[in-house]
A = this chain, B = another copy of it.
């Protein structure tokens, strides 16, 4: 029997009505002949509310104890969804992460899944029952409740799908969310953007990191590692969404599959600093300790001195500035400057590996639109340009058009079966 893992996010189980609709989705899949295991997030804003509650008791809540409190959100959703399934005549059993056999490394609030004992899940599935697993959590080897940090429920779903070998059964992991798939660009910014029927893990990873919400990079990485096909779908619509799967020959035919815009970045530039051994380590360790997520790092050399620039989310810029200033004072070297109001436009596609001239096409398009490029970073399958924030939406649109993405261009041939959303 083909097995599906269906994951319902917070908005998909936000109230009683939606929980019943999620249950109907599960029953539907079973009627199409699938065995189904379900993973749920906490209802709506429950996790944020639990964190606020904890902070009202303790300004800096103990991390282990915060895990005890937070893990209850998903347990409640799981119980409720199982009730709704029972009411539809579908035998269902909710399970905490621990009961579902999910073992973690025990690091509070950002635990990693170390293994999954699928015994109980497989017993339930073989009896044609539906296990409903509380996402975002597991038990450490010591029996401690650990939550998995951001993107934890997506990761739970993909990890369960891997452990249950759903791909071998002909199933996949379905992620039900409040968008209907992955688009060639953010449809709120680019009216001609259209939904991609298929995307590779690598492309999705780049897009996830570049500001295209939809799915957390961590879950995609898990999917890639274990070859789990991930179907991202809208929880309130019947249409197919986007399948995230291994790169195929067909995918390489398109140089670029999607574009993304990351808004409101700041940049710290360090000039006139000697490139002594360990400089970069010192600098970025200090930033990491302050929990600042660095976006892109660029380094160039000018004679004996070096220039290092990096971008961060605008909200982190103040902290980043202070830390760099302190580090430079300790080193007794370098000059710092800070710019605000930047953005990053990126083009992503596995086809870049085999298509030449992708970068130049992007630069030319931005140039023709009169948009200056401040920095460039590239990977094997993506090109990013730092531009001024004010040019962001236009830049996204011209790059999207330059690669023939979206409605009305040739590239749409591949997606004609999907309804486009403006």
Chain A residues in contact with chain B, CB under 8 A? Answer: 16, 19-20, 50, 53-54, 56-59, 61-62, 64-69, 71-72, 75-76, 78-80, 82-84, 86-87, 93-94, 96, 99, 143, 145
Q: Which of B20, B75, B86 lies in contact with A69, CB distance below 8 A?
A: B75
16 additional contacts (CB under 8 A) given A65-B79, A69-B80, A72-B76: A16-B53, A16-B57, A19-B57, A54-B79, A54-B80, A57-B83, A57-B84, A58-B84, A61-B83, A62-B82, A65-B80, A65-B86, A66-B79, A66-B83, A68-B75, A68-B96
Q: When the two chains form their complex, are residues B80 and A57 in contact, meaning their CB atoms are under 8 A apart?
A: yes
Q: Which of B59, B61, B72, B86 lies in contact with A75, CB distance below 8 A?
A: B72
Measured in the bound complex, the distance between the Cα atoms of B63 and A93 in whole Å is 11
Measured in the bound complex, the distance between the Cα atoms of B64 and A62 in whole Å is 31
Measured in the bound complex, the distance between the Cα atoms of B145 and A50 in whole Å is 21
Q: When the two chains form their complex, are residues A82 and B68 in contact, meaning their CB atoms are under 8 A apart?
A: yes
Instruction: State the main secondary structure of chain A at its contact with B.
Output: helix
Measured in the bound complex, the distance between the Cα atoms of B66 and A75 in whole Å is 11
Closest to A91 in B: B62
Q: When the two chains form their complex, are residues A86 and B62 in contact, meaning their CB atoms are under 8 A apart?
A: yes
Q: When the two chains form their complex, are residues B83 and A54 in contact, meaning their CB atoms are under 8 A apart?
A: yes
For residue A161, give the distance in angstroms from its CB to the closest CB of chain B. 23
Closest to A88 in B: B58
Closest to A84 in B: B57
Assuming the contacts A19-B57, A84-B58, asked whether A64 and B76 have C-beta atoms less than 8 A apart, the reply is no
Residues from chain B with a CB closer than 8 A to the CB of A61 are: 83
Residues from chain B with a CB closer than 8 A to the CB of A68 are: 75-76, 78-79, 82, 94, 96
Query: What is the oligomeric copy number?
Result: 2
Measured in the bound complex, the distance between the Cα atoms of B83 and A56 in whole Å is 11
For residue A317, give the distance in angstroms from its CB to the closest CB of chain B. 31
Measured in the bound complex, the distance between the Cα atoms of B75 and A148 in whole Å is 18
Residues from chain B with a CB closer than 8 A to the CB of A93 are: 64
Q: Which of B53, B67, B76, B143 lies in contact with A80, CB distance below 8 A?
A: B53
Closest to A73 in B: B72
Residues from chain B with a CB closer than 8 A to the CB of A87 are: 58-59
For residue A8, give the distance in angstroms from its CB to the closest CB of chain B. 13
Measured in the bound complex, the distance between the Cα atoms of B312 and A296 in whole Å is 73
Closest to A59 in B: B87
Q: Which of B58, B82, B94 lies in contact with A83, CB distance below 8 A?
A: B58
Residues from chain B with a CB closer than 8 A to the CB of A67 are: 79
Residue from the set A72, A87, A143 with the largest chain B CB neighbour count within 10 Å: A72
For residue A414, give the distance in angstroms from its CB to the closest CB of chain B. 41
Q: List 9 A-B contacts (CB under 8 A).
A: A16-B57, A19-B57, A58-B80, A59-B87, A62-B82, A62-B86, A65-B94, A68-B78, A69-B75
For residue A30, give the distance in angstroms from its CB to the closest CB of chain B. 18
Assuming the contacts A56-B16, A94-B68, asked whether A76 and B50 have C-beta atoms less than 8 A apart, the reply is yes
Measured in the bound complex, the distance between the Cα atoms of B234 and A237 in whole Å is 55
Going nearest first, the 6 A-B pairs with the smallest beta carbon separation are A68-B79, A72-B72, A69-B79, A58-B83, A16-B56, A65-B79
Q: Which of B62, B75, B76, B143 lies in contact with A99, CB distance below 8 A?
A: B143
Measured in the bound complex, the distance between the Cα atoms of B76 and A143 in whole Å is 17
Residues from chain B with a CB closer than 8 A to the CB of A79 are: 54, 65-69
Measured in the bound complex, the distance between the Cα atoms of B78 and A59 in whole Å is 17
Q: When the two chains form their complex, are residues B76 and A62 in contact, meaning their CB atoms are under 8 A apart?
A: no
For residue A77, give the distance in angstroms from its CB to the closest CB of chain B. 9
For residue A319, give the distance in angstroms from its CB to the closest CB of chain B. 24
For residue A367, give the distance in angstroms from its CB to the closest CB of chain B. 55
Residue from the set A67, A79, A82 with the largest chain B CB neighbour count within 10 Å: A79
